[in-house]
Amino acid sequence: MPSHITHLECTLCGKIYSHREPMRLCPDDAKPLYARYDLASAVKTLTPTSLPGRVSSMWRYEEVMPVEQPESIMTLGEGFTPLFNAHRLGESLGMNSLFIKDEGVNPTGSFKARGLSAAVSMAHQLGQMKLTMPSAGNAAGAMSAYAAKAGMEAHVFMPEDAPEANKIESIAYGAKLTLVKGFITDAGKLSAEAAEKHGLFDVSTLREPYRVEGKKTMGYEIVEQLGFEVPDVIIYPTGGGTGIVGIWKALDEMEALGWVGSERPRMVCVQAEGCAPIVTAFRNGAEFAEPVQDPHTLAAGMRVPAAVGDFLVLRAVRESGGTAVTVSDPEMVESVKKMASHEGIFPAPEGGATLSALEQLVESGEISRSERVVLLNTGSALKYLDLLGPLLASS
Ligand SMILES: *Cc1c(COP(=O)(O)O)cnc(C)c1O
């Protein structure tokens, strides 16, 4: 049951490119490319009844994954994470259908493993053996781990205020780590220069077409784990937006596969008060987001001042009838404690942010207590102990 990938397509202008060449953004308009599949033929084997007994990782959906050569698949067991019914947390909010998708149990402690497993596998298939990326945190560790698995060279450019764990793990996995004074956008410039100068392949999210293919599998899993139904609401902590647009892409693919109908969950984009370009654009009715000048938040995964896929996030949120909200760092810390003490899940601050957003939206009446809601806990708090520990101790 190999991949049914057919081509790459620009998400803005619709131009078509080959997936058999190393590609990054659309050469014409510098927007992200999406992998497209022959879903009419994939549906012959990729049916709900075919799934039990398949590998318990995101590669169980191999027909709609991009890798064509099985020997290039670099897996550490990413994905197929549990979807927990959060009874005690739900009860505290007067809700009886609250779920948490726990991405903290992924290899390297965050859902970045999904994207990097897909991207590193495709790079391997395309013969790109030297990788680089700017990362404010978890993506660096994930790239470094999969590059180690694949025997590749890895270069990481990281703002110096990134969580300690991300620096340490990258070094342990054998990557060359460069700490940058400045923001993720400054690290991005250095990574692009290094790529140019040393022939490295830059796997920055959505500038490379396959990380989103890894992250879309969260959408497939949520639907499979809910018995082929879609929830009413999905709440997602948004940085580059790869996960939220990936889940949205998966829903369209699953409709074409006949797994779901035309119903969609309302997609809620959560950002930090100190870095909320997409929320601002959403409120202003804009198609693209303005870069944030002085981004600050404890949640490194959401400290993304400008995202190349901004218009894709905004489209998904609007088409779904969803919304975009901000939460403060102290609210996130409160929610980290609340999720941990009610559910035994110790979430990254980004995961905590989804609970703060839920409380806000239940309070305002935008989410009703009877709705089925999925929170994405995108990582483990254990990656943030240096930053989070003192705040938790004092709160
Ligand atoms: C990267 C990251 C995010 C943001 O993910 P995007 O898909 O880029 O929006 C959220 N949470 C954690 C823990 C992350 O590492």
Q: Whose C-alpha lies nearest to ligand 1, atom 14? A: 301
Do 27 and 8 form a contact (C-beta atoms < 8 A)? no
- pLDDT score, position 262: 98
Burial 162-198 (b: 16+ CB within 10 A, else e): bbebbbebbeebebebbebeebbbebbebbbebbeee
Do 131 and 159 form a contact (C-beta atoms < 8 A)? no
Q: Ligand 1: distance of its center to the CA of 309 in Å?
A: 13
Q: Whose C-alpha lies nearest to ligand 1, atom 10? A: 301
Which of 135, 245, 350 should be mutated for ligand 1, with most atoms under 8 A from CB?
Answer: 350
- pLDDT score, position 1: 58
Q: Whose C-alpha lies nearest to ligand 1, atom 1? A: 301
Model confidence pLDDT, tens digit, residues 238-260 = 999 999 999 999 999 999 999 99
Q: Ligand 1: distance of its center to the CA of 237 in Å?
A: 7
Q: Whose C-alpha lies nearest to ligand 1, atom 12? A: 301
Model confidence pLDDT, tens digit, residues 347-359 = 999 999 999 999 9
- pLDDT score, position 330: 97
Q: From the CB of residue 129, how many other CB atoms can be counted at a distance below 10 Å?
A: 14
Report whether pLDDT(271) > 90.
Answer: yes
Residues 6 or more apart whose Cβ sits within 8 Å of residue 227: none
Instruction: Tell which atom from ligand 1 comes closest to the C-alpha of 243.
Output: 7
- pLDDT score, position 394: 80
Residue matched to tokens 């969803």: 322
- Domain 83-110+211-394 is in which class? alpha beta
Backbone angles phi, psi at 333, to 5 degrees: -60, -45
Report whether pLDDT(374) > 80.
Answer: yes
Distance of CA 364 to the CA centre of its chain: 27
Instruction: Tell which atom from ligand 1 comes closest to the C-alpha of 240.
Output: 8
Q: Ligand 1: distance of its center to the CA of 243 in Å?
A: 7
- pLDDT score, position 185: 83
Q: Ligand 1: distance of its center to the CA of 390 in Å?
A: 22
Report whether pLDDT(20) > 80.
Answer: yes
Ligand 1: residues with CB < 6 A are: 110, 112, 137-138, 205, 237-243, 301-302, 348, 350, 378-379
Which of 102, 108, 111 should be mutated for ligand 1, with most atoms under 8 A from CB?
Answer: 111
Q: Ligand 1: distance of its center to the CA of 316 in Å?
A: 17
Tokens read off for 209: 């077409």
Which of 204, 236, 302 should be mutated for ligand 1, with most atoms under 8 A from CB?
Answer: 302
Q: Which residues pair with 5 in a beta bridge?
A: 37
How far from 172 is each of 102, 139, 291, 316, CA to CA, in Å? Answer: 25, 15, 33, 37
Listed residue (375, 84, 377) closest to 235, CA to CA: 375
Which of 100, 138, 304, 310 should be mutated for ligand 1, with most atoms under 8 A from CB?
Answer: 138
Which of 100, 102, 108, 110 should be mutated for ligand 1, with most atoms under 8 A from CB?
Answer: 110
Model confidence pLDDT, tens digit, residues 320-337 = 999 999 999 999 999 999
Share of the chain above pLDDT 70, in %: 99
Instruction: Tell which atom from ligand 1 comes closest to the C-alpha of 137.
Output: 15
Range 43-56 average pLDDT? 97
Range 148-160 average pLDDT? 97
Residue matched to tokens 């396959």: 210
Model confidence pLDDT, tens digit, residues 182-206 = 888 889 999 999 999 999 999 998 9
pLDDT band of 393, cuts 50, 70, 90: confident
Report whether pLDDT(92) > 90.
Answer: yes
Phi-psi region of 22 (alpha: psi -120 to 50; beta: other; left: phi over 0): beta
Instruction: Tell which atom from ligand 1 comes closest to the C-alpha of 103.
Output: 13
Instruction: Tell which atom from ligand 1 comes closest to the C-alpha of 238.
Output: 9
